[in-house]
Amino acid sequence: MLIKTVGTLIFLPGFVVAMFPSTALSSSSASLSGYWNCEEEGARYTLEFKTESQLVYNGQSLNYQLQDNVLLVQEEYGFTPYVFEIKKTGLTFLSPDGSVSRCQKGEAVQASKPTKKPSTAKATTDVQTLVPGRNWPAYVRPSGNVSWESSDPQALLYKFSGRWDNYSGSTLSNIYLKPEGSFSDSSETSYSGSFSDQAGYQTGAWGTVGQSQGGGYWSIKGTLSRGVITLVRSNGQHKVINYQVHVKNGEYYGGEYFFNGALHSVNYIYR
């Protein structure tokens, strides 16, 4: 479990609890109250919302606040909102890497470690998610030989920190994954052409239009060859990017990755 603080941000395995000013507590607190038995990818844990400001996670008491259906957990990095949903079938939380926790009301049970089936597949489910905070590695070149199946946090940070560019028609999209854990992105569409006055004289030319940009923080789970990058915007929106290194005829192109199927190239502007 990873805990941060800004009002009070708490990264729990599979969910996050949010803290906003206490003026916006909603009726959701009544629905959340009591014990919850939760599970994420085979790992079980217990959660109890004791009051409108205190919960107990696996026996550990934590403060919280909520606004509507958003829980915000604080680490040193800042606020990160997470959305939860309550249905007749139970409670659902979304984790930073896109995985889901499902909870059922009931008596608390002893948390246990997941029983994992042996697998020879090159999966990333057992790989730790790298999230900005105290365990964020230094941005330096890893020493020694690093394989494409390495999940070393320092190797991932050094490989993916940079500006990732994608061209699609007349649109250029950029994702800036910054070494300290923040990100920003932008896109712009260029059109060629000119416009003239009534006499036929050229008075100007079309330029770049449709610029947009945003930002937040990024996390990553996987290896150097494949995995998942999650972008969390300051307004709480998530974007999950499945990445895979470009391989052609057995040759790895380390500066090119497919992000959700779209080829991106990197410019290491932070080195």
Determine the pLDDT at residue 237: 84
Determine the pLDDT at residue 108: 54
Determine the pLDDT at residue 25: 41
Which pairs count as long-range contacts for 182-187, CB under 8 Å and 24+ apart, including other chains? 182/132, 182/215, 182/216, 182/217, 182/218, 183/215, 183/216, 183/217, 183/218, 183/231, 184/213, 184/214, 184/215, 185/213, 185/214, 185/215, 185/231, 186/211, 186/212, 186/213, 187/211, 187/212, 187/213
| 207 SS3 class | coil
Neighbouring CB atoms inside 10 A of 215's CB total 15
Mean pLDDT of 65-78: 60
Above 90 in pLDDT, residue 175?
yes
Strands 226-233 and 238-248, bridge-based pairing? antiparallel
Above 80 in pLDDT, residue 270?
yes
Q: Identify the residue with better confidence: 107 or 93.
A: 93
Q: How confident is the model at residue 71 (pLDDT cuts 50, 70, 90)?
A: low
Above 80 in pLDDT, residue 214?
no
Quote the tokens at residue 54. Answer: 């205190």
**Please, what are the domains in the chain?**
2-105 (2.40.128), 153-267 (2.40.128)
Q: How confident is the model at residue 120 (pLDDT cuts 50, 70, 90)?
A: very low
